[in-house]
Amino acid sequence: MRVALFDFDGTLVNSGPTVIGAARATLEARGYPVPDAVAIRGFVGPPLLNGITQVLGVPAEETASFRDAYREIYTQTMTQAEVYPGVEDALRSLLDDGWTLAVATSKREDLARRIAEAKGLDRYFTVIAGADLAEQHDKAWVIGQALERLEASGVDASHAIMIGDRHHDVHGAAARGLRCVVSRGGMAPNPKAHQRPQSRATLAPASMRCANSPPLTPYLRTPNSTPDVKLRP
């Protein structure tokens, strides 16, 4: 059975404007400096608590209160995020080809589901798995949740492929023994495999962003024949 797991932010949905806008507003309200336009892009996609400390520079002891303030702002605008051009065509094509699709995102699961439902994306996915309320798990944990739920629904997900735009997706897939297709063109400036020998990552074009780009689906139809490549800037 062919199974594909999709990241959410920066892969299916352009969450950048809503995520970055809420981050800027929270930083300003709490008196923190705002990173430059390039640096703050790194806040979109990774686990939230990691992004707050590592990208926004908020002290660890203030992370929880910052998260709550950020969340209050973000949830007011999050459904304004736009689905990338070509995404629905790609998802429909994969379903027609017999694939089972799921979401594995570091975004809190209830929020990812709300956005997916608002944009009509939920109908394409057998499972939508994301971070729990504590938001303290890495991408490998989220992928594991998606795999467990697929298996529980009778889907053999042992050879699933992860599709995402960041090194978190590559590393999370590697930790679960899965191949990862890196979709370029999202919010991640330079997705990298960081030289992990066990990472099996294939660079795909930003096909779901532009209708005229080469399709993503050939990268999935013959995954075992696609050569492994190193990710580099």
Active site residue 97: no
Question: Per-residue pLDDT averaged across 69-74, rounded?
Answer: 96
The Cα–Cα gap between 205 and 97 comes to 20
Residue keyed to tokens 């002290």:
59
33-43 per-position pLDDT tens digit: 999 999 999 99
Which member of 7, 97, 165, 228 is catalytic? 7
CA-based radius of gyration for the chain: 17
Residue 58 identity: V
The pTM of this model reads 0.79
pLDDT tier at 46 (50, 70, 90 boundaries)?
A: confident
59-68, 166-175, 197-206, range with greatest mean pLDDT: 59-68
The Cα–Cα gap between 76 and 94 comes to 32
**Higher confidence at residue 210 or residue 109?**
109
Q: Read out DSSP for 71-119? A: HHHHHHHGGGPEEPTTHHHHHHHHHHTT-EEEEEEEEEHHHHHHHHHHH
Mean pLDDT score of the chain:
82
Residue 204, pLDDT score: 47
Active site residue 7: yes
Q: Check pLDDT > 70 for residue 184.
A: no
